[in-house]
Amino acid sequence: MLKYRRILLKLSGESLMGEKGFGIDARMLGHYAEQIRSLVDMGVQIAIVIGGGNIFRGLDAEACGIERVQGDYMGMLATCINGLALQSALEQHGVYTRLVSAIEMKAIAEPYIRRRAIRHLEKGRVVIFVAGTGNPYFTTDTAAALRASEINADVILKGTRVDGIYDKDPEKHEDAQKFQRLSFDEALRLGIRVMDLTAFTLCRENNIPIVVFDINNRTNLVNLVKGEPIGTVVAGTE
């Protein structure tokens, strides 16, 4: 029995680095591809939004002397590189995929058309959304919230390196307390940044729950979709 049948998986670009300080670690690609293949075999419809922080982040543009809008477009292209890498890894594991870009680039990706993307999901293809929203000043968190709303996803699964949301940084404070569940209102009141505020507001308005979990544990993604209490759920109101 599946708790979620159509999911949007949000991965950061940094999650692809593994032990490296930059770029893409082939072991991490294989790690994610294996987990996603397991979900496909279970009949889960999967969309993915991936960041580009392992290559370039638009927010870093100013430090490089690059104008913000130009930097954001560079960040969008970085997500395309990551999307191509993930697509290749998934296809090596026998998973049918579609790379869908918010910026037109006919040679490597389909343009984003909502109904076509939903049809791909219905046919069991993994849809990888790249190039963010196609607009500067918006993060890939916002792109994830927007696409999840558009494809009527049951949930956004945000894979991180920690096993949920804490009241303080668990990597710095041994007494950090983990939240099992939070309402959107509680998260806002406590100032917890599950996603950026624009993305968070979209999820709240469209009643899309967010689950923050440790994706480095090989069993978490599958068990979470089955309904096991993994990570921290942010949903509903108080």
What are the residue ranges spanned by the domains of the chain? 6-234
Query: Mean pLDDT over residues 127-131, rounded?
Result: 97
Question: Model's pTM, two decimal places?
Answer: 0.93
Core vs surface per residue 216-235: b (16+ CB within 10 A) or e: beeebbbebbeeeebbbbbb
- Distance CA(45)–CA(187), nearest Å, equals 28
Provide the token pair at 140.
């890939």
Instruction: Give tens-digit pLDDT for 82-109.
Output: 999 999 999 999 999 999 999 999 999 9
Stretch among 121-130, 166-175, 177-186 having the lowest mean pLDDT: 166-175
Q: Are 155 and 224 in contact (CB under 8 A)?
A: no
Q: Are 2 and 38 in contact (CB under 8 A)?
A: no
Percent residues over pLDDT 70 in the chain: 97
Instruction: Grade residue 190 by pLDDT with cuts at 50, 70 and 90.
Output: confident
Provide the token pair at 187.
């998260």
- Distance CA(52)–CA(140), nearest Å, equals 9
Residue 61 has pLDDT above 80, yes or no: no
Determine the angle formed by the axes of helices 68-92 and 26-41, rounding to 10 degrees.
60
| CATH topology for the 6-234 domain | Carbamate kinase (3.40.1160)
